[in-house]
Amino acid sequence: MTTQAAAQPPGGVEPRPAGPTAEDFERVQQSEEFAELRHSHRSFAFPLTVAFIAWYLLYVLLSNYAGGFMGTKLFGNINVALVLGLAQFATTFLIAWLYSRHAAAELDPKAAAIKARMEAGE
């Protein structure tokens, strides 16, 4: 069995790695463009997260401390607790849909531009 030595680059100089380096990522992370992308994400995600957590905690608190209100029948066997519980699911899906629209319109184009510049070696 023969083993071949690793091919040495001409002139003994190592070629640049095929993808971005750690320094490239650090430079992009410090850029204004990346800061704008981060701001776009946070300005959408954080308020919705806080609002949803507050809405969820309200539901839990009402369930624990306002049993009479939550047990109020609206029609048939449907009470306030059931309607608000189902609204939790609806809210979750609404937020996911809103985020996907926001990401497609605002975040994805900015991220794609950053990625393209990194891959081009700029």
pLDDT tens for the 122 residues of the chain, in order? 555 555 555 665 666 556 778 888 888 889 899 999 999 999 999 999 999 999 999 999 999 999 999 999 999 999 999 999 999 999 999 999 999 999 999 999 999 999 888 888 76
Overall size of the chain counted in residues: 122
Query: In the prediction, which pLDDT does 25 show?
Result: 84
Query: What tokens does 39 get?
Result: 């701001």
Specify which residues 78 forms β-bridges with. 75
Query: In the prediction, which pLDDT does 6 show?
Result: 55
The answer to whether the beta carbons of residues 115 and 25 sit under 8 Å apart is no
Specify which residues 73 forms β-bridges with. 79
Query: In the prediction, which pLDDT does 121 show?
Result: 76
Query: What tokens does 114 get?
Result: 């950053």
- d(CA 35, CA 61) in angstroms, rounded, equals 38
Query: In the prediction, which pLDDT does 38 show?
Result: 95
Query: In the prediction, which pLDDT does 47 show?
Result: 96
- d(CA 36, CA 89) in angstroms, rounded, equals 31
Q: Which residue has the tokens 């309607």?
A: 83
CA distance readout (Å), 57 to 39, 62, 98: 27, 8, 21
